[in-house]
Chain A
């Protein structure tokens, strides 16, 4: 069975076509600058040369049509007809409280996704546009919505509620939702397979550290707490996001600097984190390079970054009363050995013993980087959100 996975932004479509008989990728690509005369399609059929096409694509529906045409191209296509795509898995960022799992899209689901627009104004509207575009192009296929927040719906109320007047929860659903759910779920399942233990018996701390970053406490396969909150701004220090700060700083800075709401939002989301502290870059590699060159701001940024991860891991060990495995995944988590080392250095009290040699080795496969005698397994697991979306979709077809 062939499943198309798509992830729509306001002017982009990311896609991957899977053959689920062996979970292989038949083609993948990206459509950018939708809505303009010079939209760009970067199409990569498996084992063949990458193609870049520039043409007028005025909406997502046309964009997806062009992608399907490429997939069905007589010479270089990977499928013969659109009918071969039996299902489409859609990434939807925010599922609110309505969706605790992936669902087949029907009119009721569409309505519910629309109701979450307030909670994810940048992401959910284009996600829904993507669903409409795909349904128009592939009416015969089953369309499944996979939510970033769904995995975290198992959190207990004391973990997801904020100590604010409760009326805000009732009126606007102000609470913790958490993000990167598809990734946290995927890597915790992979960890259980790798360790040869049932997921139900494991206490896992999953660190998804990319440009956006979140940590989740996974107990018995269920998310019991996660560091991102109502929006992806809470929690860890990130590339350009500040993560946790004293909330009183916000009205203080607004008053002192005479900022508008959009300016203060942009300050915390785009000008803070590694970039804001180091003044160099939001890219961990560049900040580390500067640190090795003796830049004091870069050193401070990295110390703060690592310290926050360590503190959060400590908190989740307490939340679960123990930990069997710590997972590092996503851009920084999979590639920055020094960051992993600095995080693990301070976790000896919990029984973490890092194998420095293994930690220094690069691999595309799942890797154990703790020693034999370590009480806690430390793993590096490449995440694969697209594959997870395809699997979730397959389960519902």
Chain B
């Protein structure tokens, strides 16, 4: 079995940053590859900010922060892939974009290297078909926020080999992450269930059954959710929620996956959640809620 020491993460967005922070904090050399130097630099800064937040919450020490950062390199140069022992792709959730990235990885990576995709809804078999190593392509669907949620859905494509699955499961156990094996199906388990819940919460809000605050509170207190469904939607980004919903609708062809009209309306209005400062709630630049005065004063 290959000895994995150096992992390349392609895409430095929210998920890519989280994945990079997690694997670097567990001792792996990590390279984040972005489209441009600016984006790469910004990914690094966001990882540093995330570590600072952890430091402020006593989760890590200054030395641990330094050590984690020392293991992370960011670049826009894809040739860095030739030193990688494993690749995790985490670019925009679009089939053609992902296929382009996989083709490039297939050319540049050593033939023994496993290429994993963080896709949540796309067909892995289709992505794998764009490479000459269909047995070494696998899905690793992380859950946001990555450094805090120790769960990954391990997705087998049609041709993914058992060795590849085992190598990846071993890696996940080194990362202290629980791997759940799932078969290829839109949304797998996590996305399919949570997106549907969010969509239903939107209908509930739209129909005036309860306020946003109370819908979230009902699920938090009633079912011990750490965050309510609408709060979650704000964190995922309403555009991402809509995109996932539309894909599920298209793939399954079942009206139960029809996106709530309110969701479309909010996306059109540019109220995408935390990243635009406004969704169901309002947020400051650090992503903290600013509409909860009584709790803020604590």
Tell me whether A and B are bound partners: yes
Do B59 and A266 touch across chains, with their CB atoms under 8 A apart?
Answer: yes
Cα–Cα, bound, A88→B54 (Å): 41
Cα–Cα, bound, A271→B65 (Å): 14
Q: Which residue of chain B is the closest to A262 with respect to CB atoms?
A: B59
Q: Which B257-282 residues sit within 8 Å CB-CB of chain A?
A: none
Among A11, A58, A270, chain B packs the most CB atoms within 10 A around the CB of A270
Q: Which residue of chain A is the closest to B150 with respect to CB atoms?
A: A262
Q: Which A31-50 residues sit within 8 Å CB-CB of chain B?
A: 35-37
- Please name all residues of chain A whose beta carbon is closer than 8 Å to the beta carbon of B58 when the two chains form the complex: 259, 263-264, 266-267, 270-271
Do A37 and B60 touch across chains, with their CB atoms under 8 A apart?
Answer: no
Q: How many A-B residue pairs have CB under 8 A?
A: 31
Cα–Cα, bound, A26→B63 (Å): 34
Q: Which residue of chain B is the closest to A33 with respect to CB atoms?
A: B27
Q: How large is the interface on B (under 10, 10 to 19, 20 to 34, 35 or more residues)?
A: 10 to 19
With A58-B3, A256-B298 already in contact, the answer to whether A35 and B57 are too (CB < 8 A) is no
Q: Is A260 among interface residues, defined by CB-CB distance under 8 A?
A: yes
Contact with A along B53-85 (1 / 0, CB 8 A): 010011111000000000000000000000000
- Please name all residues of chain B whose beta carbon is closer than 8 Å to the beta carbon of A263 when the two chains form the complex: 54, 57-59
Q: Is A108 among interface residues, defined by CB-CB distance under 8 A?
A: no
Do B57 and A257 touch across chains, with their CB atoms under 8 A apart?
Answer: yes
Q: Which A17-36 residues sit within 8 Å CB-CB of chain B?
A: 35-36
With A36-B5, A58-B3 already in contact, the answer to whether A260 and B60 are too (CB < 8 A) is no
Q: Which residue of chain A is the closest to B55 with respect to CB atoms?
A: A271
Cα–Cα, bound, A11→B61 (Å): 19
Shortest CB distance A35–B (Å): 7
- Please name all residues of chain A whose beta carbon is closer than 8 Å to the beta carbon of B27 when the two chains form the complex: 11, 35
Shortest CB distance A247–B (Å): 18
19 contacting pairs across A/B (C-beta < 8 A): A11-B27, A35-B5, A36-B5, A37-B5, A256-B298, A257-B57, A259-B57, A259-B58, A260-B148, A263-B54, A263-B57, A263-B58, A264-B58, A266-B59, A266-B60, A267-B59, A270-B61, A271-B58, A271-B61
Instruction: Given contact pairs A35-B27, A259-B59, A266-B60, enumerate 14 new A-B contacts (beta carbons under 8 Å).
Output: A58-B3, A256-B298, A257-B57, A259-B57, A259-B58, A260-B59, A263-B58, A263-B59, A266-B58, A266-B59, A270-B58, A270-B61, A271-B58, A271-B61
B residues at A contact (CB < 8 Å): 3, 5, 27, 54, 57-61, 148, 298
A residues at B contact (CB < 8 Å): 11, 35-37, 58, 240, 256-257, 259-260, 262-264, 266-267, 270-271
